Structure 1
Amino acid sequence: MNAITSKTKKITALAAGLTLLLTGCAGEPNANTDGGDAELADASLTVGSKEFVESILLGQITAVALENAGASIEDKTGITGSATVREALQTGEIDMYWDYTGTGWVNILGNTTEEVPEDLYAAVAEADAENSIAWLEPAPFENTYAIAVPEDFAEENNIATISDAVTFIQENPDQGSICAASEFINRDDGLPGLQEAYGFEFSEVVELDLNLVYAQIGKECFFGEVTSTDARNLANDLTVLEDDLSFFLEYQGAMTLRQETLDEYPAIANIMAPISEALTADVITELNGQVDLEGQRPKDVAEKWLESEGFLE
């Protein structure tokens, strides 16, 4: 096999601008709305998130909901990288953030993708409890990694599955490039594991900020890393390839927080349970689209949705 070649695209100005749009006033305390039943009137809590839209949006939903219950909230959404935000949780820099079961199983707990328990959420929650981290009940959406190509490219070359893509790349190595973010390129449950499971290598790896990948599929590269609940798949006319060998893990979203925080403020679980239950795949994809496609601020989208669902008083 050819060795993977990787070239880094530094588009810092665009990435920085998008980060400012997504995080708004990240790092500054939100103004208290004096709403709700003041279940958390004595609580001062810091809400974090990873840097991509869905994670920031989930962080903002959490912040608005807990603030509505009387808590004083500091916004630290938009932290770059799974390892960084997890460390922030463990060290007390933040009190909570949303993560995914697949990330918990592989990246946090150090397991492999070869032996995955049937109830992944239960296994992750039980194991991470030993680290004094609680996983609240997951939302009914799964945001898995996926590989996508332009719709017309898929149709012209009869590519519907990742196995189809492997055959195509082996026959057309000059069209075997993939755009992907640094984390996916280096994660065992990302590109390295995918290539090992399917027995191939992309001929070129183009490293981009994740927020720039979608628009570059079919331009900068033929294939791209995407996630399943991202509205930009539809907006950019992308075909998400079937993972016919079922390599990618289940990535069910759930809020994580230190057990000591939950013990001190058990109302957090009660407040978040119905909100989490309402976050179906269709709902989170629609909310993602309001940010990604319409340019709305995550906090505004969060407030509007919570209010429309009757979660704010």
Structure 2
Amino acid sequence: MRTSLTGAVALALVLAGCGLKSGSPLVDDVVPGSVGRGEPLKGASLTVTSKNFSENIILGQMIGLIFKAAGAEVLDRTNLPGSISAREAIINGDADAMYEYTGTAWITYLGNEKPIVDPQQQWQAVRDADRRNGVTWLPQSRLNNTYTLAISKKNNAKYRLRTLSDVAALSQKDPSAVTVCVENEFAAREDGLLGMEKAYGMKIPAANIQKMDAGIIYTQVSKSNSCLLGEAFTTDGRITSLNLDTLQDNKHFFPNYNAAPVIHTATIEAWPAIAGLLNPLSARLTTAIAQELNAKVDVAGEDPHEVAKDWLIEEGFIKEG
């Protein structure tokens, strides 16, 4: 879901004008497991891409490894800066496949202001609208990388917060108790803190809102009394590692950001077997699995490619050659 637009538009124009220049071939010796039998992509030369944060890189590596096991030659162009650059690569055919987020497409790319509450209906709306852009959306996963507020389990033993409505009730009863740490952008956006406060009727004093880098927020919430609550992403690996609770968006204020494979339409027309390869993967992916895999990279410092490969092998999707 994370959209990093600043500075990415210029890069997107470069990508659109002359194609991607970086990347390296996947050289892993992998063979089909539960998917890719018969090597239905033999003879294909495919490029996978991703945005430049751990989760999306992991997902991009998964696509590449499955394509490789299914017989394709695969060029790895994951880790592009921002959302727009990866998006333009798919549209222009400079890349063939990546995982994208339904909320990002619906709000950021397609220009809608209000999310669709039902996640399946939002995916269908995105799928239908994006056809005109030469982008084919395959079925989404249950992996939903959306916004939430996090609180340490230690503090929550006292407050017993479960939902954002519980936060609103606490803020009305005792405004001084509610301190919130957020990123600068989230603090100023109508689809961020400002809108959330309005939607839930929160009464958070301005002095109780601290702005800081996203990475610091998690540690501040876990170790400091200065942030009772902090902006968080539901699939972040630090939620588990730092012993945090996340609060339910019970009024469905934030969009659903379910991850789904997006394919350059001409590519899937040429290689329709792609759908059968990636649909089982998406059916397995969940928010909890994403938290676990993200923690391996962001907490334990493991390589996203190896994390993706190990998990695919453990799940039986592919095998070592």
TM-score computed with the length of structure 1 as normaliser: 0.78
Give the whole-Å Cα distance in 2 for the aligned partners of 1:102 and 1:88. 19
Secondary structure of the residue that 1:82 maps to in structure 2? Answer: helix
Offset at residue 145 of structure 1 (A)? 1.6
Choose 34-43 or 298-307, whichever is displaced more.
34-43
Give the whole-Å Cα distance in 2 for the aligned partners of 1:193 and 1:304. 40
Establish whether residue 294 from structure 1 lines up as the match of residue 292 from structure 2: no
What percentage of residue pairs aligned between the two structures are identical? 35
Structure 2 matches for 1:248-267, cutoff 5 A? 248-267=254-273
Contact 1:65/1:311 (CA < 8 Å) preserved in 2?
A: yes
Structure 2 matches for 1:38-187, cutoff 5 A? 38-113=39-114, 116=117, 119-169=121-171, 171-172=174-175, 176-180=179-183, 182=185, 184=186
| Alignment size in residue pairs | 286
Establish whether residue 305 from structure 1 lines up as the match of residue 311 from structure 2: yes
Offset at residue 188 of structure 1 (A)? 5.3
| CA RMSD after TM alignment | 2.9
Establish whether residue 29 from structure 1 lines up as the match of residue 25 from structure 2: yes
Residues 168-226 of structure 1: per-residue CA shift (max 9 Å, x gap): 556546963323375x5576543443234234567335242x45542232547443222
1:268 maps to which of 250, 274, 288: 274
Contact 1:145/1:227 (CA < 8 Å) preserved in 2?
A: yes
Give the whole-Å Cα distance in 1 for the aligned partners of 2:76 and 2:184. 25
Give the whole-Å Cα distance in 2 for the aligned partners of 1:234 and 1:34. 31
Secondary structure of the residue that 2:99 maps to in structure 1? Answer: strand
Which residue of structure 2 aligns with residue 7 of structure 1?
none
Amino acid of the structure 2 residue aligned with 1:270: G
Which residue of structure 1 aligns with residue 219 of structure 2?
215
Offset at residue 155 of structure 1 (A)? 3.2
Choose 157-166 or 97-106, whichever is displaced more.
157-166
From the superposition, tell whether residues 91 and 181 of structure 1 become closer, same or farther in structure 2 (CA, over 3 Å): farther
Residues 215-258 of structure 1: per-residue CA shift (max 9 Å, x gap): 23254744322222333212112121222322122222101121
Establish whether residue 206 from structure 1 lines up as the match of residue 211 from structure 2: yes
From the superposition, tell whether residues 114 and 141 of structure 1 become closer, same or farther in structure 2 (CA, over 3 Å): closer
Offset at residue 122 of structure 1 (A)? 1.4
Give the whole-Å Cα distance in 2 for the aligned partners of 1:255 and 1:202. 41
Offset at residue 95 of structure 1 (A)? 2.2
Give the whole-Å Cα distance in 1 for the aligned partners of 2:158 and 2:30. 57
Offset at residue 297 of structure 1 (A)? 1.4
